[in-house]
Amino acid sequence: MRYFLELSYNGTPYHGWQRQPNAISVQEVLEQALSTLLRIKVVVVGAGRTDTGVHAKQIMAHFDYENRLESEELKYKLNAILPAQIAVYKLSRVRDDAHARFDAISRSYEYYVTMLKNPFKINASYYVKKPLDIVAMNEAAKLLLNYTNFKCFSKSKTDVKTYNCTITNASWEIENDQMIFKISANRFLRNMVRAIVGTLIEIGEHKLNKEDLIHIIKSEDRSQAGYSVPAHGLYLTAVEYPQIIYSI
């Protein structure tokens, strides 16, 4: 039987989602906890491979187990042994061919920029000292929806079959002393969101303009785009799936 787990994590102490040979990851910690509870070796497949320091408000992962599991009971036991930085919210039985990564039809991220120095947000948002023009940043962000090839924002030497992504939303909002960038797409390239945010911040600082953004996208050249903002301001916030995977 295949199960989906819905969970969240604070990525500060972890070297990303994916299991690493010489560093602790969220996947490894979750697999150890499930293996301990179920008394068999459990392999977990996540919806995405977040980088070191990136957080997840919601991420889905699947694993296989031969017997029926009670959602509330497993959730309670898992949360009892998982570290404080990882929380499980829901267990769902899904179709046996459902896949947490490949069946996802939409992913959403948020990036937090703080305009006020705050020692309590050191690992939770990116502190920018200069004032930013949010109107210019939003005008530029809208242009992202007109394109599909985002090679210019992809990490170099990434082994992917296509650089095409369909962005359905990209916008900035102000919340108290923070600016939040929200973006949704069917898929994302490695480092894509952080590179987009860095480029938009340079537009907000009037170092670049929206015409420059068009040139950057058309260039398909990572060196033309802005810098990558730090990982600790980035949050995976939602992963969506077709309802059919829950039809069992």
Report how far apart, in Å, the C-alpha atoms of 199 and of each of 49, 169, 212, 245 are.
22, 17, 10, 37
For the record, the structure tokens of 88 come out as 């499980």
Token pair for residue 54?
């990136």
51 assigned to active site:
yes
Residue 58 phi, psi (nearest 5): -150, 130
Strand segments (E) across 67-135: 86-94, 106-114, 126-127
Residue 78 tokens, joined: 């898992």
Q: Is 159 helix (H, G, I), strand (E, B) or coil?
A: coil
Give the separation between CA 58 and CA 237, rounded to whole angstroms: 5
Q: Among residues 213, 207, 196, 209, which one has the least CA distance to residue 130?
A: 207
How far is residue 58's CA from residue 171's CA, in Å, rounded to a whole number? 20
Hey, what amino acid is at 104?
Answer: A
Sequence-separated (6 or more) residues with CB below 8 Å from residue 77? 37
Q: Which residue has the tokens 């969970």?
A: 7
Catalytic residues: 51
